[in-house]
Amino acid sequence: MSALSTPVLEVADLAVSFDNSSGGPRIQAVNGVHMTLFPQQTLAVVGESGCGKSVTAMSTMQLIPRPPGRFDRGSILFEGRDICSLREEDMLSIRGGKIAMIFQEPMTSLNPVYTIGDQLMEAIFLHQQAGPDQARAIAIQAMKDVGIKKPEERLGMYPHQFSGGMRQRVMIAMALACRPKVLLADEPTTALDVTIQAQILELLRELQSTRDMGIMLITHNLGVVAENADVVCVMYAGRVVEYANVFELFDEPLHPYTRGLFRSIPMLRDVKHRLVTVRDVTNDAAEFRRLDGHVPWWPDMPEGTKPALAPGRDEHVLVEVRPNRWVGCWRTPELESRTHRRPSLDYRRTDR
């Protein structure tokens, strides 16, 4: 097994819940999520707002405030160690050093009262043995890597003197300055305009290929997924509903929700009075009968489609319905006897 075929991050059966501040039952943000990230791979996590994408990423960073958050079960293995069981001191060296994260809001994600250089070098001092001059050199190189011109000058500037796209570059430079193994990119381009989006994603791809870095790309933009992802993990309501490599998924989505997502994209050619919604698809009972022997899991099943469940177990199970295709299904008694391979796709697209 070469280094590239060893997963760098494995999320297994992760469940995270939060206190309900209005006194109701606990809110299950993530409920049995599996995913596997390999070096140099881009794993896109897709789903609508509130489906648990960000909670998964924040759990990986151990940035979920506890309380109100709580890890109910599962593990997050990074280089063979379970992050969930690490002490805070050990986590500090991983966070920002081995696993880095960039966020959605470049406009507010930088501290307004410190210079770009201060903030970049703060990360470098934390994770590398470097003197001030060395740290400065690393920071300048990091800024050059993300395509910021005149980095020496820019180091002394404040975030408000940068545009949104430039700030996101700084965020990426900051995240990558310590050469992390995993980059969690939580909707890194959502706040940016289309041109800058393309530049930033291009940049991430370039940097990924020069380092053995795995990227978990969290997005709800299917165009971004199609362009950038190797493997796609579709989530809904804290569950993984479909897991496949990007081409197979786009060619033939197996879960009704995924189909709903694709069909709801408006096409420029088509003139429609009304767009197809995800709900139109998931309300159609026929959609749930298209998988032989399995019923796709969905919290709000059309009448008469919900199968009998295995008693006493979690209702949801991620089934490898075809080789290297996983779909979230109801745990029927027939599935109960089978062992299920966890989703793991050591796949990288070759069309770049």
Partner 1 sequence: MVSYLARRLAFMVPTVLGITLMVFCLLAYAPGGIGAGLAVSGGQMSDTSKVAQMQAYLEDRYGLNDWVIVQYGRWLSRISPVKFGERDLRTPSGERVAPPRAIDDPPLAAAFPTPAVPVDAFEPAAGDDLVAQFKKLQRDAEGTRREYVGSVRLFRDALADWARAQGPAMAGRLDAKGSADPGRFEGVAIDPASPGYAKLRAAADAMHAKWVAARRAQALALAAFRAGPYPKSGIPLVPGLVSLDTPDLGVAFSKNRPVWDLIAAALPVTLLINLIAFPISYLIAVPTGVLASVRRGGWFDVLSGFLYLSLYSVPTVLAGVFAIGFLANRQYLGWFPVSGLHESGAEAFTFLPHADAAGTWHRGYLVDTLWHVALPVLCLVYGSFAVLSKQTRASMLDNFNADYVRTAKAKGVPRKDVVLRHVFRNSLLPLITMFVGIFPAMLAGSVVIERIFTVPGMGSLILEAIDLRDREIILANTFMIACVNLLALLLADILYAAADPRVSYE
Interface residue with partner 1 among 111, 141, 163, 277 (CB under 8 A) is: 111
CB of 102 to partner 1, least distance (A): 8
The pattern of x and - marking residues 65 through 94 that bind partner 1 according to CB under 8 A reads -----------------------x---xxx
Closest CA to 177 of 108, 230, 237, 117: 117
CB of 58 to partner 1, least distance (A): 9
Answer for the pair 67, 60: CB distance below 8 angstroms, yes or no: no
Separation CA 158–CA 125 (nearest Å): 19
For tokens 């043995």, what's the residue? 129
Find the shortest distance in angstroms from Cβ 115 to partner 1: 8
Look up tokens 């177990």; give the residue. 313
**Contacts to partner 1 from residues 160-179, by CB under 8 A:** 160, 171, 174-175
CB 193 → partner 1: shortest distance, Å? 19
From the list 203, 238, 240, the residue with the least C-alpha distance to 320 is 240
Nearest to 93 by CA among 110, 104, 78, 111: 78
| Span interacting with partner 1, options 119-127, 224-232, 257-265, 279-287, rule CB under 8 A | 119-127
Measured from the CB atom, is 96 or 151 closer to partner 1? 96
Q: Which stretch binds partner 1 (CB under 8 A): 103-111, 143-151, 210-218, 314-322?
A: 103-111
Between residue 29 and residue 68, which ones bind partner 1 under the rule CB under 8 A?
A: 61, 63
d(CA 95, CA 87): 12
Does position 155 interact with partner 1 (CB under 8 A)? The reply is no
> How far is it, in rounded angstroms, from Cα 348 to Cα 352?
10
Q: Which is nearer to partner 1, 30 or 110 (CB)?
A: 110
Name the residue nearer to partner 1 (CB basis): 115 or 332.
Answer: 115
- The three-state secondary structure class of 220 is coil
What is residue 303's DSSP assignment?
T
Question: CA–CA separation, 206 vs 200, rounded Å?
Answer: 10
What 3-state class would DSSP assign to 216? strand
In the complex, what is the shortest distance from the CB of residue 129 to partner 1, in angstroms, rounded to a whole number?
15
Residue that the structure tokens 């151990």 belong to: 62
Q: How far is the CB of 92 from partner 1 (least distance, A)?
A: 5
Residue numbers at the binding site for partner 1 (CB under 8 A): 61, 63, 88, 92-97, 100-101, 103, 105, 108-115, 122-123, 126-127, 158, 160, 171, 174-175
